[in-house]
């Protein structure tokens, strides 16, 4: 993309309404624009990030064997009356009436709708296990929408639902979700810690939240610093191997990690003093096993091997896709702007022409640009007739991980400059070598 042909409405001023860095930076970098409280348009740059986050989420869900689909945003109230949640949900639910006076709602989540789909089609244990998911907009009329996309009213969520014959099978689905979520966050450059959350109606260890440590997080968290040493790296996961998946979950949940909702002083005191940490965290996901809660009330039954009709065991599992855009920025920015991890960067490489209009610089940039496009490296070429300082400031603000800078002085020596946004380090090398370096970095993602 050439910047002169793009839509990147960056702001010079720091917006006064934004209280935290990610909100400020998303507005300044022209990623989002508020339509009304807690409801945002995703401008082209923000939309690119959202799609990248979504792509990682899809890849990891499909790797775990979960099946993508798409349910609507608007749902009939009757299904929620059946489960008993229509009245229970309260003022966070946006209720709508259509022209035929039918009660509808903008879905805050999808347990009822998916259970209805399931029961209409599945009647035998032979069709299990089954995990379906979608990435769709949700609406919750939050009492205090704030921090930009972090606590919106309309927000994008990946929500998945597992259907299993037994509690044991459903707990394997739960574990698959835990592992796939940990991989998802790690790929986005985030350390998200699974923390035991307030237990659901079934009791026990049946729900975990995933929290990214950040001073601006809304939850108070207590954890053992040893959790910081855990990482997947290049490790392969066989999602069909129950014991292996369980072992990974055990590894990640062994160190103490709780939010204030479930914090237990006595258990925390057993963590060696020098490893005890208290901080703040952003909830970027939650997984839940709730057994037969919906399948009993909504009659989602299957015939088991013995020929009996039994309610299926279910769980639901969510990732805050749009919140992640903010959370990643909270975890990765500096005084100059955003520092995107490679996996979610809106463009992979920035190309800066120091002397627009100079035949040699223009020619070399055009060549590099074509080559970057050809190998799928998705460049943003700043071809504006602007000072170098302004071009650098824009690139730093929007946070592209790598920048290639081309100017007449370097070209006279046969070099361009390759700069890493994270470290600020620059290196002079031939344009071919710069291209090869960037291609190599992205090929290892």
- Of the two residues 109 and 286, which places its CB atom closer to Mg ion in the complex? 286
| Whole-angstrom distance, CA of residue 24 vs CA of residue 35 | 16
- Of the two residues 53 and 368, which places its CB atom closer to ligand ATP in the complex? 53
One residue of 285, 337, 399, 407 binding ligand ATP per CB under 6 A: 285
3-state secondary structure of 185: helix
b or e along 129-166 (b: 16 or more beta carbons within 10 Å of the residue's beta carbon)? bbbbbbbbebbbbbeebbbbbbbbbbbbbbbbbbbbbe
| Whole-angstrom distance, CA of residue 377 vs CA of residue 351 | 11
Q: Which does 140 bind (CB under 5 to 8 A by kind): ligand ATP, Mg ion, none?
A: ligand ATP
Question: Which whole-number Å values give the CA distances from 212 to 183, 238, 301, 328, in the listed order?
Answer: 14, 26, 38, 9
Minimum distance from CB of 94 to ligand ATP (Å)?
Answer: 12
Minimum distance from CB of 271 to Mg ion (Å)?
Answer: 24
- Of the two residues 3 and 20, which places its CB atom closer to ligand ATP in the complex? 20
Contact status, residue 340 vs residue 328, Cβ threshold 8 Å: yes
| Whole-angstrom distance, CA of residue 286 vs CA of residue 109 | 13
Asked if residue 109 binds Mg ion (CB under 5 A), the reply is: no
Q: Which does 291 bind (CB under 5 to 8 A by kind): ligand ATP, Mg ion, none?
A: none
| Whole-angstrom distance, CA of residue 185 vs CA of residue 443 | 19
| Whole-angstrom distance, CA of residue 322 vs CA of residue 327 | 9
Structure tokens at 243: 């014991």
Q: Which stretch binds Mg ion (CB under 5 A): 73-81, 278-286, 296-304, 370-378?
A: 278-286
- Of the two residues 176 and 421, which places its CB atom closer to ligand ATP in the complex? 176
Contact status, residue 368 vs residue 406, Cβ threshold 8 Å: yes
Roughly how many angstroms between the first and final C-alpha of the chain, as a whole number?
A: 22
What are the two backbone dihedrals, phi and then psi, of residue 427, each rounded to the nearest 5 degrees? -140, 140
Q: Which does 320 bind (CB under 5 to 8 A by kind): Mg ion, ligand ATP, none?
A: ligand ATP
Minimum distance from CB of 76 to ligand ATP (Å)?
Answer: 21
Asked if residue 286 binds Mg ion (CB under 5 A), the reply is: yes
How many residues touch ligand ATP under the rule CB under 6 A: the total is 14
| Whole-angstrom distance, CA of residue 317 vs CA of residue 116 | 18
**Beta strands 313-320 and 154-164: pairing type?**
antiparallel
Asked if residue 206 binds ligand ATP (CB under 6 A), the reply is: no
Q: Which does 386 bind (CB under 5 to 8 A by kind): ligand ATP, Mg ion, none?
A: none
- Of the two residues 152 and 407, which places its CB atom closer to ligand ATP in the complex? 152
Q: Which stretch binds ligand ATP (CB under 6 A): 28-36, 113-121, 279-287, 375-383?
A: 279-287
Minimum distance from CB of 192 to ligand ATP (Å)?
Answer: 10
- Of the two residues 321 and 352, which places its CB atom closer to ligand ATP in the complex? 321
Asked if residue 142 binds ligand ATP (CB under 6 A), the reply is: yes
- Closest by Cα among 156, 158, 210, 207 to 185: 210
- Of the two residues 180 and 286, which places its CB atom closer to ligand ATP in the complex? 286
The total of other beta-carbon atoms located within 10 Å of residue 391's CB is 22
Asked if residue 22 binds Mg ion (CB under 5 A), the reply is: no
Largest CA distance in the chain: 81
Asked if residue 155 binds ligand ATP (CB under 6 A), the reply is: yes
């299957």: which residue's tokens?
Answer: 302
Minimum distance from CB of 38 to ligand ATP (Å)?
Answer: 7
Helix (H) or strand (E) holding 137: strand 130-139
Site residues (CB under 6 A) for ligand ATP, limited to 299-318: 318
Minimum distance from CB of 374 to ligand ATP (Å)?
Answer: 37
- Of the two residues 283 and 383, which places its CB atom closer to ligand ATP in the complex? 283
Minimum distance from CB of 190 to ligand ATP (Å)?
Answer: 12
Residues in contact with ligand ATP by the rule CB under 6 A = 140, 142, 151-152, 155, 157, 283-286, 318, 320, 322-323
């Amino acid at each position: 993309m050439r910047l002169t042909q793009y839509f990147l409405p960056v702001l010079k001023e720091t917006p006064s309404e934004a209280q935290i860095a990610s909100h400020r930076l998303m507005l300044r970098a022209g990623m989002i624009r508020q339509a009304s409280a807690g409801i945002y348009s995703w401008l082209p740059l923000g939309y690119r990030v959202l799609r990248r986050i979504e792509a990682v989420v899809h890849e990891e869900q499909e790797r775990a064997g979960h099946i993508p689909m798409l349910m609507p945003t608007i749902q009939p109230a009757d299904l929620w009356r059946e489960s008993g949640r229509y009245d229970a949900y309260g003022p966070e639910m946006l209720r709508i009436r259509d022209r035929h006076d039918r009660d509808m709602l903008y879905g805050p989540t999808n347990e009822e709708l998916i259970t209805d789909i399931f029961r209409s089609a599945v009647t035998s244990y032979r069709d299990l296990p089954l995990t379906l998911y979608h990435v769709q907009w949700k609406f919750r009329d939050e009492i205090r929408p704030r921090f930009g996309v972090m606590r919106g009213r309309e927000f994008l969520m990946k929500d998945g639902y597992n259907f299993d014959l037994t509690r044991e099978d459903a707990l394997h689905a739960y574990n698959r979700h835990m592992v796939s979520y940990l991989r998802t966050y790690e790929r986005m450059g985030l350390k998200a810690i699974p923390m035991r959350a307030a237990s659901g109606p079934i009791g026990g260890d049946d729900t975990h939240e995933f929290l990214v440590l950040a001073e601006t997080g809304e939850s108070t968290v207590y954890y053992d610093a040893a959790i910081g040493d855990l990482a997947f790296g290049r490790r392969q996961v066989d999602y069909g191997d129950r014991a292996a998946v369980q072992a990974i979950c055990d590894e990640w949940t062994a160190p103490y990690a709780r939010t204030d909702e479930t914090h237990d002083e006595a258990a925390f005191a057993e963590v060696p003093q020098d490893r005890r940490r208290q901080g703040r965290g952003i909830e970027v996901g939650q997984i839940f096993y709730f057994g037969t809660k919906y399948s009993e009330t909504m009659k989602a039954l299957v015939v088991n091997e013995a020929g009996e009709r039994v309610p299926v065991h279910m769980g639901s599992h969510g990732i805050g896709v749009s919140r992640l855009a903010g959370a990643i920025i909270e975890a990765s920015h500096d005084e100059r702007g955003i520092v995107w991890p490679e996996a979610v960067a809106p463009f992979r490489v920035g190309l800066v022409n120091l002397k627009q209009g100079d035949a040699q610089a223009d020619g070399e940039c055009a060549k590099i640009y074509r080559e970057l496009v050809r190998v799928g490296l998705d460049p943003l070429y700043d071809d504006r007739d602007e000072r170098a300082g302004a071009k650098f400031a824009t690139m730093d603000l929007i946070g592209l991980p790598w920048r290639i800078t081309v100017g007449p002085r370097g070209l006279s020596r046969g070099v361009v400059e390759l700069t890493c946004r994270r470290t600020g380090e620059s290196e002079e090398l031939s344009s071919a070598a710069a291209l090869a370096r960037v291609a190599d970095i992205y090929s290892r993602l």
